[in-house]
């Protein structure tokens, strides 16, 4: 057996920091390296949890789970996210670390569009199906691509509400110059801001129905927004479905 020598992630992090500090490093390389440095941080969080649960399954068997809730922790739910303050820091692109058929309800909003499609998105939906008990349900909300695209082509001034609700506090505000810029943000929002994970895929109602049906869910229906569970700021411009195993 041959082994390829790989630098440790710590060494790689130091090397990236050194190259980033070089004034001659080009914008293109720096942009890529900053994204790699961010993945290294996420990799460290994930591997700390993986060391605690080497089988890839945690001992707990929570009945209600929120995935990708960020700072919006759901009461009575076990919160899994890449970064604090979740109950478990886990990279969902590596699967869901829960036992088969043990969960009654999964809640997730404004998460799915942040993982790569098809590999991670389809794997996540299959994993959700695996961990849910028979009759278990998963509620999923995403920015509604249908809503944004339905207004194209159109004048930017008619999108005032979208801009004020979604981008008024963002650095990108001054660079939203035509309606197509809003369409672009649907597909790659936050690509300019390393504090967040960017949008990698866009979804509408039809796509949500398709992806959950393909994974074996028996029904996929619209979910009526409930601000007691969902983040109230997601009500406007989002599409939600509830899929049953
Ligand atoms: C836009 S925030 C949404 C937070 C919250 N659901 C809300 O609506 O306010 C996306 C969340 O998904 C999490 N996330 C992105 N990729 C992830 C991954 N691969 N594994 C776990 N969580 C992830 C991020 O850390 C972040 O907390």
> Which DSSP string do the residues of 70-86 spell out, in sequence order?
TT-PPTTSEEEESSTTS
Name the DSSP class of 144: B
Domain covering 53-144+203-244, topology: Rossmann fold (3.40.50)
Q: Which atom of ligand 1 is nearest to the CA of 190?
A: 1
Is pLDDT above 50 for 170?
Answer: yes
Q: What separation in Å is there between the alpha carbon of 17 and the centre of ligand 1?
A: 26
Q: Which atom of ligand 1 is nearest to the CA of 93?
A: 19
The whole-number pLDDT of residue 10 equals 87
The whole-number pLDDT of residue 223 equals 98
Is pLDDT above 60 for 93?
Answer: yes
Is pLDDT above 50 for 2?
Answer: no
The whole-number pLDDT of residue 1 equals 34
95 Rama sector, left if φ>0, alpha if ψ -120 to 50, beta otherwise: left
Residue 229's alpha-carbon distances to 39, 68, 223, 233, in angstroms, are: 30, 14, 12, 12
The whole-number pLDDT of residue 7 equals 60
* Average confidence score pLDDT of the chain: 94
Name the DSSP class of 157: G
Of how many residues is the chain composed? 245
Reduced to 3 states, what is the DSSP secondary structure of residue 149?
helix
The whole-number pLDDT of residue 5 equals 47
Pocket test for ligand 1, best of 35, 39, 68, 142 (most atoms within 8 A of CB): 68
**Which residue has the least CA distance to atom 13 on ligand 1?**
68
Spatial neighbors of 36 by CB under 8 A, at least 6 apart, are 16
Q: What separation in Å is there between the alpha carbon of 160 and the centre of ligand 1?
A: 26
Q: What separation in Å is there between the alpha carbon of 70 and the centre of ligand 1?
A: 5
**Which residue has the least CA distance to atom 25 on ligand 1?**
82
pLDDT in tens, 197-221: 899 999 999 999 999 999 999 999 9
132 pLDDT tier (thresholds 50, 70, 90): very high
Is pLDDT above 50 for 173?
Answer: yes
The whole-number pLDDT of residue 192 equals 76
Ligand 1: list residues with CB < 6 Å: 68-70, 72, 81-83, 91-93, 109-111, 114-115, 197, 231, 234
The whole-number pLDDT of residue 66 equals 98
């Amino acid at each position: 057996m041959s082994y390829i020598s790989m630098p440790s992630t710590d060494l790689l992090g130091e090397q990236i920091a050194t190259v980033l500090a070089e004034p001659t490093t080009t914008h293109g390389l720096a942009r890529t390296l900053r994204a790699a440095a961010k993945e290294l941080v996420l990799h460290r969080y994930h591997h700390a949890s993986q060391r605690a649960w080497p089988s890839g399954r945690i001992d707990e068997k929570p009945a209600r789970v929120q995935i990708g809730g960020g700072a919006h922790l759901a009461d009575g739910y076990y919160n899994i996210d890449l970064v604090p303050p979740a109950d478990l820091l886990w990279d969902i692109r590596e699967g869901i670390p829960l036992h088969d058929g043990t969960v009654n309800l999964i809640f997730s909003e404004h998460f799915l569009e942040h993982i790569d499609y098809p590999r991670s998105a389809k794997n996540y939906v299959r994993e959700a199906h695996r961990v849910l008990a028979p009759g278990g349900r998963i509620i999923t909300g995403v920015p509604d691509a249908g809503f944004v695209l339905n207004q194209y082509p159109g004048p930017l001034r008619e999108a005032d509400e979208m801009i004020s609700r979604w981008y008024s506090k963002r650095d990108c505000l001054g660079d939203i110059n035509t309606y197509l810029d809003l369409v672009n943000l649907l597909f790659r929002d936050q690509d300019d801001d390393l504090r967040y994970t960017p949008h990698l895929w866009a979804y509408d109602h039809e796509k949500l129905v398709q992806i959950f049906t393909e994974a074996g869910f028996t029904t996929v229906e619209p979910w009526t927004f409930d601000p007691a569970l969902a983040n109230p700021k997601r009500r406007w411009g989002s599409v939600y479905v509830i899929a049953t195993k």
